[in-house]
Amino acid sequence: MVNNFTKTVVSYTIWKDIDKIIIMERLHMEVYLDNSATTKPNIEVVNIMTKALTDYYGNPSSLHHKGVEVEKLIKTARKQLAKALGASEQEIIFTSGGTESNNMAIMGAIESKKRKGNRIITTKIEHPSVLNVYKNLETKGYEVIYLDVDSFGKINMEQLKESISEETILISIMHVNNEVGTIQPVEEIGKIIKNNNENFIFHVDAIQSFGKIKFTPKKIGAHLLSVSGHKIHGPKGIGALYIKKGLKMTPLIYGGNQETGIRSGTENTPGILGLGEAARCLYEDMDNKINKMWILKNKLIEGIKNEIHDIKINGFEKEGSAPHIANISFLGIRGEVLLHSLEQDGIYVSTGSACSSKKNTKSHVLKAMGLKDYEIEGAIRFSFSYNNTLEEIDYAIDKLKKHVKDIRKIVKR
């Protein structure tokens, strides 16, 4: 068990007793339920990164022993990640994270196919690291089709088929939505692309699905697939892009031709070794890890449904959803207020994507799903890790019940 009752100074109560000052510290459990924003690195990851910083500091491009030693370790990390993805090591390129992987996939694909057409197909509920690339491409004359989603956040396959034309050069779809956990039918999309003689490129943003759902890029027919280190108990600042063997890509960054010339720049050795180790840990006992997240998610949802009235589950509860995300609207209160109330008891959740939750804008995902403003305002995202415990979920439900009741009382005054 990683988390436990922890002595944490969240707030102070100061009692003045003549000449004594007694500071009362609160004792409570720390429950981290924001694992879609980032995860706590595994101890194995921390250990290998420490070794990378203290011992394996050579430049992998150097010809001497210190360089060759690191080059071999990077090769091992690439194999570990490739094994977890069911790919070959030659198909893995290390990047600085999910955002770079998505940018590299989209811009590289567009550049290599720009003479074939100018139409791109995506959805209205992609991550900003995808949507903002398309906004930029629209200013350069590309036609971007944003597919609608239904009330569960799922795309309509007929709309996708109707959107494909001779001008289509790229389809880019998120596998699991980062706010509501809805799974898109990427395998079906892959088959459509195959039936079109693979005239266009298929990119899958798998940052929220890698390690949560069992798949391989080959099985879903992806040409390009993005993953991130810190979403799988690895380090921040490292990610990877799967590039199907034989696919021609135009680099975004030029330099010393590292990463087979696709992504130049001295390799981030600590990050790469940390990502490789995180992938290795993930691959071990994956079925049980996924099952554990389902148990935690189901327990939280059932507990909230039984204990708190006037709530709305956003997206699918079970089938059609990923095991690690539950999005729930607590009607009549603001999600941000509830978030900070829970924080006082050591419970950490999110109102949406960590990449946009600090902006004072309504969730584009929930908006696209047709939620009303008051439903969007009260939405909280709970995201789980296999390191969470049932005891933590019981604690979270108990505190949620109290805080929702208290906030609603204040709002009604």
Question: Catalytic positions, please?
Answer: 355
Q: Which residue has the tokens 């939750």?
A: 357
8 Å CB contact between 264 and 255: yes
For the chain, the 3-state helix, strand and coil shares in percent, each to the nearest 5, are 40, 20, 40
Half-sphere exposure in the Cβ direction for 227 (13 Å, CA)? 31
Q: Kindly state the greatest CA–CA separation across the chain.
A: 84
Q: How far is 311 from 337, CA to CA, in rounded Å?
A: 16
Tell me the helices (H) and strands (E) count for the chain, helix number first: 13, 14
Chain-centroid distance of CA 186 in Å reads 17
Residue 266 neighbours by CB distance under 10 Å: 11
Q: Are strands 201-205 and 224-228 parallel, antiparallel or unpaired?
A: parallel
Q: Which amino acid is at 265?
A: G
Helix (H) or strand (E) holding 241: strand 239-243
- Which three-class secondary structure state does DSSP give residue 155? strand
- Which three-class secondary structure state does DSSP give residue 314? strand
